[in-house]
Structure 1
Amino acid sequence: MAGLSSNDEVVTFRMLLELEEVRRGAPEVLNGHADLDRPVRWVHVADTEGVGALIEGGELVLSTAAGFRTSTTRLRRFLSGLEAGGAAAALIELVDESGLPDGAAVATLRQAVRGLTMPIVLLNRRIKFVRVTQAGHRLLIGQQLARLERSRQVHEIYTQLNLDGADEQQIVETTARLLEGPVLLEDVAHRVLLSAGPDPDTGETASAGRPDETDGTAWAGQVVGAAGSVWGRLVAPWVDPDDAGDMLVLERAAQALTLARMAARDQADLLHRAQAGFLQALMAGDLTEDEAQERADGLGLAPARTYVPLVVHMSSGPERDLTLLQLRERVAQEEWIGAARPLAPVVLSASLRSGTFALLLGLRETADVDTALTEVVARVRSRADRTVTRDADRAGPGGGVAWTVGVGPARDTLNGAAFGVREAAQVARTAAATETRDLPFYRFSDIRLRGLVALLADDPRVRTFAEAELGPLLTGHPPWGMELLALYLRHGGNKSEVARAGHLSRQALYARLERLETALGVSLDDAESRAALHVALLWARLRTSA
């Protein structure tokens, strides 16, 4: 592993067979030749027949088989117990008191190992078991220390990356360097977001495309993201999933990516909150123009020639979840900010109420206001078309939530433009609540009488007038009254068009119109009455959408 200590090779039985002390015993492998590379976890000396029930697996057992070496049954029971317990291998020393091979015991052992698969080695000369255990344990402890050292190095590398504010690409590149192979960062849909590192087979840099899993094996990988919010997966196609060292690198890299994303979002959230607070202060009139420019400089906002206030009003309909609408509002804000930044050196955003947010755009000196706003709206619609299903007439970011844009007067000062946010909000709300021609954005001049009613909607005198005009219709008597009145006014009193639009027979329409006139106490044929009812109806619709 590049850049890390690599003295962490797994200790195997074959390595222990190469020890000088073991070679002095003239070792002879009786069986298990194919498993000599089994990893060894510990080294034990045992001469009791029941030791197999006490081991935990992975041990190298040294034994003289004293007391049962002359019995094939007992010796086989001893070896079978070791194999059943998961021992890595057994070294059996069979010599007599003079140090020569014990012929009878050797013959017994050769017979006892038949049918067993565990590596079993006969030692034909006397050795010092203590030296074997010391050497073996020295290797094993060294291996453990090497693993701890590598774990420490990996931890320090990724901790430093996070402390230095490294982005996702730097973390992926570091991981590829440590693993000496390609590394891919995918999203949850297996789309490659980032890639780095050479293909060990070709030496070429990893491409942005996802290699084929043609062999059907699972790739080594780690999920990226905090619990409950996984957003990606870090994949190393040429890493063995059973390699603990490489998997440790992937695990720490995934953690570093999660922390990097969280830090970036926290920083973005802090900046967004600071800018939103600035816009709120501007709207409240709490700052002089000099103070506003000074605070803008502190937030890193460059001066602009023209400042334009606009408000985006999102309308989900009565059947929508309010919480879901708020989440979609946040997504929409990010979309609008991203779409506006290439065209405006200053972009401030703040939520006004649920489903409504304001933006203050500082345009470049050469920008035409209408051209710039049209391009911003087009950019947002383009992003929405690529990312969500449109199921509303003016669908935008948020999966079918319709939005309407109101624009206030452009000004050459921050305070002047912020003062126009209220007008932009009224325009957006009015355009969304009433039928009007479909435009990318609306100004006060585009909503005409509706705009006037919107400006006066909170005036108690207008409320008194509208309630007197609509009377029982406001309380649902008759239940179809408001809808029929809106149809009648929309079609200019043309009864044939009203019947067709309302799916009513002429007789049914006449009966309902008569009942409606009775409820209102006016004649619908009177032009002044229709004008008054139209204003009252506009007020009622604005009140409902508020």
Structure 2
Amino acid sequence: MTTTPETSAGQPREPWEPALSVRQVLGLERVQAGQPEVVAGAHRLDRAVRWVHVAEAADVGVMLSGGEMVLTTGVLLAGDEDKQCEYVRSLDRAEAAALVLGLGRAFPAPPDTMRRAAERCGLPMVVLHRPFPFAELTEEVQSRLLRRKYAAVSLSEAVRTELTGLITAGAPVQRLLDEVARHSGCPVVVTNLAHRVLATAGERAAVDDVLRDWERIARQAGAGCADGWIRAELGCRGERWGRLVLCGYGGDRAAGRLLADRAAEALVLHRMLAGDGIRAGVSAGSWDTWEEQSARSLLTDLVTGAVPARLLLPRARAAGLPVNRRVFVPLVVREREPGRPARVLRRLGLPGIAARLADDHVAVLLSLAPDQDARALTAHFATRLRAEPDAAHTVVAAA
């Protein structure tokens, strides 16, 4: 069983270790005592600070592994503009988070050469106008990072234990997702690889807000540019089949990533046990696809009237059904399983969903354009369905 790390443009995602942003570090009370001023790279202050490192050597880059906030007095750089430029370039090559220069005897004022080099590289450069013990800054940041890491790991293990217990007790997938939503405090969405929504959890109003503009938001989340959106790939045995997304997670990003990973592991385990017939009461091969579960939830809410039809439109759109200027045609098919009606819909190119709502009845919802002949298309669908193997006694009726 594996979950695939989040990727962007085919690259592995950044490590999950907790981090503060450059902006957050500069906002700390101890740092404010040094009167910090951002003199370059102001548009990059949200870069993650993974560690704090004090370095004076001109070739500092070889000592870094990325994400460090580098503190220096510049004592070995004064009077040599070439060294100053190389110092900044080495930080950029090492993917340092920011450069903090303490003004003093070496540099009584911000050095223009370093400032211009940092601006060209897009490296945040900060000067401290008042003497400031670097040890206080490193102690403050390191302790905060360690506390965040401990909190993230504790949350991860607590969630893993809780979700494993639910799986052992035979809880349905929705119960797992509800628990993930409770821990995350934000909507949770499961999609297939085409971004179609298969399941959701969380406060209903917040979920509806997410689904209302799902196509645009899903593209942003997939590109890694949506604030607070954290995703984990779902797959096992070398095959990916979906994604779990925390939509607008407001906590520490490291904790959110661990939470998403633990949730993904639980969903994959649940699916494997159900599909392999290991979980009590589940026979091999009886696992419904996520698409079928999503369709059943949507159609059940529509049939029972539990949710007003107008509020179901965002869910229908997120499930892949066209909803703008459409005519919806509900049908009932006397079939035990939705597989055959869904297969015929795909072959005919008819937008629709199918789900078993009773032992021997399948509900079908067609989404047609206003200029399409609903009666003729329904008749054609019924004819093709009856022509399917072992479907001689299939009956299709308008609901």
Report if TM-score (shorter chain) is over 0.5: yes
**Aligned equivalent of 1:245:** 255
Q: Is the 8 A contact 1:195 1:206 kept in 2?
A: no
**Aligned equivalent of 1:256:** 266
Q: Out of 40, 64, 82, which is 1:31 matched to?
A: 40
Q: Secondary structure at the match of 1:263?
A: helix
**Is residue 46 of structure 1 aligned with residue 91 of structure 2?**
no
**Aligned equivalent of 2:188:** 183
Instruction: Give the deviation of 1:107 after TM superposition.
Output: 4.8
Instruction: Give the deviation of 1:270 after TM superposition.
Output: 7.7
Instruction: Give the deviation of 1:268 after TM superposition.
Output: 7.8
Aligned length: 283
Instruction: Give the deviation of 1:66 after TM superposition.
Output: 1.8
Cα deviation digits, residues 153-173 of structure 1 (max 9, x gap):
221221222122211121122
Question: Which amino acid in 2 is paired with 1:114?
Answer: R
Higher helix share: 1
Once the two structures are aligned, what percentage of the paired residues are identical? Answer: 31
**Is residue 82 of structure 1 aligned with residue 84 of structure 2?**
no
Question: Which amino acid in 2 is paired with 1:386?
Answer: P
Q: Is the 8 A contact 1:197 1:206 kept in 2?
A: no
RMSD of Structure 2 on Structure 1 (CA): 4.4
Q: Is the 8 A contact 1:223 1:230 kept in 2?
A: yes
**Aligned equivalent of 1:214:** 216
Cα distance, 1:79–1:160 mapped onto 2, change above 3 Å: same
Cα distance, 1:179–1:50 mapped onto 2, change above 3 Å: same
Q: Out of 143, 149, 152, which is 1:144 matched to?
A: 149
Cα distance, 1:258–1:30 mapped onto 2, change above 3 Å: closer
Q: Is the 8 A contact 1:72 1:108 kept in 2?
A: no
Q: Is the 8 A contact 2:210 2:247 kept in 1?
A: no
Q: Where in structure 2 are the equivalents of 1:434-445 lying within 5 Å?
A: none
Q: Is the 8 A contact 2:89 2:117 kept in 1?
A: no
Instruction: Give the deviation of 1:86 after TM superposition.
Output: 1.8
Question: Which amino acid in 1 is paired with 2:134?
Answer: F
Cα distance, 1:170–1:21 mapped onto 2, change above 3 Å: closer
**Aligned equivalent of 2:341:** 386
Name the stretch that deviates more: 121-130 or 262-271. 262-271
**Is residue 155 of structure 1 aligned with residue 110 of structure 2?**
no
Q: Is the 8 A contact 1:71 1:108 kept in 2?
A: no
| Aligned mates of 2:148, 2:67 — CA distance in 1 | 15
| Aligned mates of 1:23, 1:83 — CA distance in 2 | 25
**Aligned equivalent of 1:55:** 64
Question: Which amino acid in 2 is paired with 1:113?
Answer: R
| Aligned mates of 1:148, 1:92 — CA distance in 2 | 34
Q: Out of 88, 112, 122, which is 2:114 matched to?
A: 112
Instruction: Give the deviation of 1:119 after TM superposition.
Output: 2.3
Q: Secondary structure at the match of 1:131?
A: helix
| Aligned mates of 1:173, 1:232 — CA distance in 2 | 18
Task: Determine which structure has greater relative contact order: mean sequence separation of CA pairs < 8 Å that are 6+ residues apart, divided by chain length.
Answer: 2
Instruction: Give the deviation of 1:233 after TM superposition.
Output: 4.3
**Aligned equivalent of 1:374:** none
Cα distance, 1:210–1:227 mapped onto 2, change above 3 Å: farther
| Aligned mates of 1:49, 1:245 — CA distance in 2 | 36
| Aligned mates of 2:96, 2:144 — CA distance in 1 | 18
**Aligned equivalent of 1:418:** none
| Aligned mates of 2:143, 2:210 — CA distance in 1 | 45
Cα distance, 1:89–1:156 mapped onto 2, change above 3 Å: same
Instruction: Give the deviation of 1:48 after TM superposition.
Output: 1.4
Cα distance, 1:24–1:173 mapped onto 2, change above 3 Å: closer
**Aligned equivalent of 2:134:** 129
Structure label with greater radius of gyration:
1
**Is residue 167 of structure 1 aligned with residue 167 of structure 2?**
no
TM-score by length of 1: 0.43
**Aligned equivalent of 2:358:** none
Q: Out of 85, 91, 111, which is 2:100 matched to?
A: 91
Name the stretch that deviates more: 183-192 or 36-45. 183-192
Q: Where in structure 2 are the equivalents of 1:441-452 lying within 5 Å?
A: none
Q: Is the 8 A contact 1:35 1:119 kept in 2?
A: yes
Cα deviation digits, residues 113-137 of structure 1 (max 9, x gap):
2242222223344332222222222
| Aligned mates of 2:34, 2:194 — CA distance in 1 | 59
Cα deviation digits, residues 133-158 of structure 1 (max 9, x gap):
22222122222222212222221221
| Aligned mates of 1:12, 1:27 — CA distance in 2 | 15
Q: Where in structure 2 are the equivalents of 1:312-323 lying within 5 Å?
A: none
Cα deviation digits, residues 61-118 of structure 1 (max 9, x gap):
222222331233322332332233222222222324xxxxx6xx33572343224222
Cα deviation digits, residues 436-492 of structure 1 (max 9, x gap):
xx999xxxxxxxxxxxxxxxxxxxxxxxxxxxxxxxxxxxxxxxxxxxxxxxxxxxx
| Aligned mates of 1:106, 1:143 — CA distance in 2 | 36
Q: Is the 8 A contact 1:94 1:124 kept in 2?
A: yes
Q: Is the 8 A contact 1:12 1:36 kept in 2?
A: yes
Q: Secondary structure at the match of 2:99?
A: strand
Q: Secondary structure at the match of 1:75?
A: helix
| Aligned mates of 1:52, 1:185 — CA distance in 2 | 41
| Aligned mates of 2:73, 2:279 — CA distance in 1 | 71
Instruction: Give the deviation of 1:266 after TM superposition.
Output: 5.0
| Aligned mates of 1:208, 1:61 — CA distance in 2 | 39
Instruction: Give the deviation of 1:23 after TM superposition.
Output: 3.9
**Is residue 14 of structure 1 aligned with residue 17 of structure 2?**
no
Instruction: Give the deviation of 1:221 after TM superposition.
Output: 4.5
TM-score by length of 2: 0.56
Cα distance, 1:270–1:138 mapped onto 2, change above 3 Å: closer
Cα distance, 1:78–1:205 mapped onto 2, change above 3 Å: closer
Instruction: Give the deviation of 1:32 after TM superposition.
Output: 2.4
Q: Out of 215, 233, 237, which is 1:227 matched to?
A: 237
**Aligned equivalent of 1:373:** none
Instruction: Give the deviation of 1:185 after TM superposition.
Output: 3.9
Q: Secondary structure at the match of 2:90?
A: helix
Question: Which amino acid in 2 is paired with 1:217?
Answer: Q
For structure 2, the residue ranges without an aligned partner over 5 or more in a row are 1-16, 223-229, 287-332, 345-384, 395-399
Higher strand share: 2
**Aligned equivalent of 2:366:** none
